[in-house]
Amino acid sequence: MSVHNSINTGKPITVTIDGKVCKSTFGKTILQIARENDIYIPTMCYLSKVQPIGSCRMCVVNVEGVDGMILSCQEKAVDGAVITTNNNALFHERQNIMKLYDVNHPLECGVCDKSGECDLQNKTMEFDVDTQEFTARDQHRPVENWGHVSYDPALCIMCEKCVRVSTEITGDEALKVKFGGYGSTIINVKQEKNYASLGEAAAVCPVGALVSTAFKYTSNAWELTKIPSACPHCGGGCQMYYEVKRDRIYRVTNECEFSTLCGAGRFGFDYANEGVSKDAAAFNAAVEAFKDADSVVFAPQISNEEAMILQKLKEKYGFKLVSHEARAYQKFMAAYSTVTGKHLYNGDLKTLSDSQAVIVLGTRINNDSPTVKYHINMASKWQRARVIYMHPMEDSEMQNIVTQFIKYEVGSEEGVAALLAHTLLEGNGDVTKTLREYLDDLDIGNLSAECNVGEEELDALKKSLLKKRGFSLVVGSDLYMHPRAEQIAKLVALLETYAGFNVICVPPAGNAMGVSLICELDDSAEGKTVGYNVKGDFTLSALGDGDLDMPALNQQEGTLTTVDKRVVPMHVALSYGGYVLNDIANALGLHAKYTIDYTPMLPVQKGFKETAFDALDEYFDATGTEHRGYLLASQKVPVKRTLDEIEEIEAFDGAVIYRCDPVEQFSPFTAKSTLLKDEPVMFGSTQFAAAAKLQDGDTITFEIDGISFERLFKIDTEMKGTIALNPTFDMGLSASLLSSYRFSRLVFRKTNNENIGNNDE
């Protein structure tokens, strides 16, 4: 099978808007072309990142030769069109629309959280609405608390932006329109879920109908200072603003017209290391610890510049640098590149959202990287994409977009990757003779049986891709720490090289991609250890519980490397009074006044540019094109397309746990919002509970890689199978010590009584 990523482009056209000649391509709407050319057309319901809604009618224009007014957000421009965006008739039409909106929306600006940044408020003044000829009887519409977000139906203008982002972008499909004429309202059909992703619905609300519950009544918008930055949580590096007053973050916002934030990015901002002062004794001890260290162990939740400092210290002092997640990713991409000849994967999120077929392998993507999941959802909603989800566990949050779920056995990822390559490259004439012989020699029947993936499932997958264009493959962390990760990487890379797939190898949490590119990482630590929140001679801690405090990522300047292979800037949102890693580095013989002095020193041979931090731009243009930072330059590497024999699959019998943080691992309702709940919870199905001999509410302890866990077990009736979800978000940066495959066989002890778990007997 040979597939190609060909996206049709429109033919060139020329239109005249308000006397200005504008060149564009056929297929774009009048409104899109106007925005590309900095021509203003007012809107209330339009949102660039979703399909046109057409509910407000504010964007009406006149087109020469066409009777009446037409909606510029929906009408595709034709070559030679002459368009007028403003005249007396259009102004009067828009003025009447605003009068009707102001009837439905009480003007309570003095106490409204949206005052000062409200589209309705702005356009009421823009169109000179100072009298009101219309009236309507008030209705009782009480405020509804949906958890992270509150809804005031009395303020709602029914623009439907919130419904569209819930459906087309985040994909939770929690919000719907309840039609009822003047009594129409927005309803939350999944209130029991308490989706933090509804924060995105609140972000696009043009009025004060949807607001963050935690932010409500706390500050006026104009009192807050917007500090641009990048989200440090999942590796997406999404665009964001910290909104600050008196050294406190009140909320996080984004350029919601073009970008999207998940719940963790929007609500998980309260993790700063506060009340820190410089402790000279601890600092001197830290410097000596680095001098004496044999190893430095750290998590990838650091900036590119901090990674560069650690690399330079390694070169100077010769200690090992250990970051297990980043190292696993580094080795995976090194093997991947031997097939593709490029040091990074070819994929990007825009191409993903434009794809008509998406395969997801080796990641619980809704939890691991919400921003990638959102783009898969966009492909499903906009391109009617086939979404094939391959994983040992079903995910109820993906069911509304998954067209084929292929369940495979835990540990069988190498076999699954081989089956996928064989299926999709069969008949592909571009494959080399050696690789064709390798694929033809695979024992497909045996692999299918061992992986528990039926050949008929693979045939159905292949047939579902016929007549589709734009193919994407998303792979994730289940593969990177697999014992056969490097072989899996080569098999996946075949689909980029020979089948034209847009491949995205989703980095692990934090800045794992940046760390993997900058640092020469080692596989394991030895001797005296310096680490982030790791037991050893000296501890650095971004959360303030180590021997020497370090600033959190919202307290420092620097850059992150995103899943889109873009280097983006972070800025200081909150003050920090202690020492930083650069202070230690200077005491150890490096010389930089500021941490960001290392920004232009990032390794050019890994695709970085010699660009100073202050030269990194921070905006989206009128077309939604991102200008934050810069894209990594693709680097060529030697090609060596050799594959090994597929190894026999290790059996995982009995109860199995899967390391996976919940999507909503942060809560805005606690004073220090680092945890979703009072204690971390392991969720499993009724079937898992029976297999493990656990009851709902049991507390258990167990170990992974020598790290102790204590978990409250809860039954989730939506889950299936004998695999439970085990979070690590409560461990701080100690999670950096976990180096094994994400699936583990569970051997535990109950601590709510003295019974020993005997699931291994």
The predicted-structure confidence for 454-469, as pLDDT tens digits, reads as follows: 999 999 999 999 888 8
Establish if 400 belongs to a structural domain.
yes
Structure tokens at 144: 């509804």
Mean pLDDT confidence for 371-387 = 96
- Residue located via tokens 């090994």: 644
Better-predicted residue by pLDDT, 494 or 110:
494
Quick one: pLDDT at residue 672?
39
Q: If 0-12 CB within 10 Å is exposed, 13-18 middle and 19+ buried, where does residue 281 land?
A: exposed
Distances (CA, A) of 309 to 85, 293, 521, 629: 54, 15, 13, 20
| pLDDT-based confidence at residue 533 (cuts at 50, 70, 90) | very low
Residue range of the domain that includes 711: 656-750
Asked which of 86, 104, 123 is the last residue of a domain, the reply is 86
| pLDDT-based confidence at residue 760 (cuts at 50, 70, 90) | very low
pLDDT > 70? residue 671:
no
Q: Would you say 741 and 483 are in contact if contact means Cβ atoms under 8 Å apart?
A: yes
Quick one: pLDDT at residue 4?
37
Residue 461: which CATH number? 3.40.228.10
The least confident of 42-56, 356-370, 729-743 is: 729-743
Assess whether 73 and 159 both reside in one domain: no
Quick one: pLDDT at residue 532?
54
pLDDT > 80? residue 540:
no
| pLDDT-based confidence at residue 9 (cuts at 50, 70, 90) | low
Better-predicted residue by pLDDT, 430 or 106:
430
Assess whether 736 and 701 both reside in one domain: yes
Residue 674: which CATH number? 2.40.40.20
Establish if 234 belongs to a structural domain.
no
Distance CA 368, CA 118 (A): 34
Residue 214 has phi, psi (to 5 degrees) of -70, -30
The single-letter DSSP state of residue 636 is B
| pLDDT-based confidence at residue 664 (cuts at 50, 70, 90) | low
Quick one: pLDDT at residue 194?
82
Assess whether 398 and 441 both reside in one domain: yes
Distances (CA, A) of 92 to 45, 85, 86, 472: 19, 13, 10, 48
The predicted-structure confidence for 318-331, as pLDDT tens digits, reads as follows: 999 999 999 999 99
Structure tokens at 393: 């566990």
Assess whether 371 and 445 both reside in one domain: yes
Assess whether 78 and 164 both reside in one domain: no
The predicted-structure confidence for 475-484, as pLDDT tens digits, reads as follows: 999 999 999 9
- Residue located via tokens 């002062």: 277
Residue 559 has phi, psi (to 5 degrees) of -130, 160
Assess whether 361 and 489 both reside in one domain: yes
Quick one: pLDDT at residue 242?
97
Assess whether 399 and 540 both reside in one domain: no
Residues in the chain, total: 761
Better-predicted residue by pLDDT, 562 or 104:
562
Quick one: pLDDT at residue 531?
76
Distance CA 85, CA 88 (A): 10
The predicted-structure confidence for 143-200, as pLDDT tens digits, reads as follows: 999 989 999 998 999 999 999 999 999 999 999 999 887 788 999 998 888 888 999 9
Residue 597 neighbours by CB under 8 Å, 6+ apart:
none
pLDDT > 60? residue 670:
no
How high is the mean pLDDT of the chain? 89
* H-only helix segments in 574-730: 581-587, 686-692
Mean pLDDT confidence for 534-547 = 42
Quick one: pLDDT at residue 624?
81
Residue 104: which CATH number? 3.30.70.20
Quick one: pLDDT at residue 713?
94
Establish if 741 belongs to a structural domain.
yes
Residue 23: which CATH number? 3.10.20.740
Establish if 194 belongs to a structural domain.
yes
Establish if 62 belongs to a structural domain.
yes
| pLDDT-based confidence at residue 665 (cuts at 50, 70, 90) | low
Assess whether 31 and 128 both reside in one domain: no
| pLDDT-based confidence at residue 353 (cuts at 50, 70, 90) | very high
Pairing of strands 357-361, 386-390: parallel
Instruction: HSE, CB side, 13 Å, CA atoms: give it for residue 441.
Output: 10
| pLDDT-based confidence at residue 547 (cuts at 50, 70, 90) | low
DSSP annotation string for 506-561: ---TTTHHHHHHH----S---SSEEEES-SSSEEEETTS-SSEE---GGGS-EEEE
Assess whether 136 and 163 both reside in one domain: yes
Quick one: pLDDT at residue 478?
96
Assess whether 498 and 525 both reside in one domain: no
| pLDDT-based confidence at residue 545 (cuts at 50, 70, 90) | very low
Assess whether 426 and 541 both reside in one domain: no
Quick one: pLDDT at residue 695?
93
Assess whether 112 and 49 both reside in one domain: no
Establish if 159 belongs to a structural domain.
yes
Number of domains in the chain: 5
Q: Would you say 200 and 165 are in contact if contact means Cβ atoms under 8 Å apart?
A: yes
At 46, the amino acid letter reads Y
Distance CA 277, CA 257 (A): 40
Pairing of strands 699-704, 707-715: antiparallel
Quick one: pLDDT at residue 105?
79
Q: What percent of the chain has pLDDT over 90?
A: 72
Kindly report the number of other CB atoms within 10 A of residue 462's CB atom.
14
pLDDT > 90? residue 731:
no
Element housing 320 (H / E)? strand 320-322
Q: What percent of the chain has pLDDT over 70?
A: 93
pLDDT > 70? residue 363:
yes
Quick one: pLDDT at residue 5?
39
Distance CA 121, CA 659 (A): 47
Nearest to 158 by CA among 207, 122, 92, 91: 207
The predicted-structure confidence for 696-726, as pLDDT tens digits, reads as follows: 999 999 999 988 999 999 999 888 889 999 9
Establish if 360 belongs to a structural domain.
yes
Distance CA 197, CA 213 (A): 13
Mean pLDDT confidence for 670-680 = 45
The predicted-structure confidence for 265-316, as pLDDT tens digits, reads as follows: 999 898 888 888 998 988 888 888 888 888 998 889 899 999 999 999 999 9
Establish if 440 belongs to a structural domain.
yes
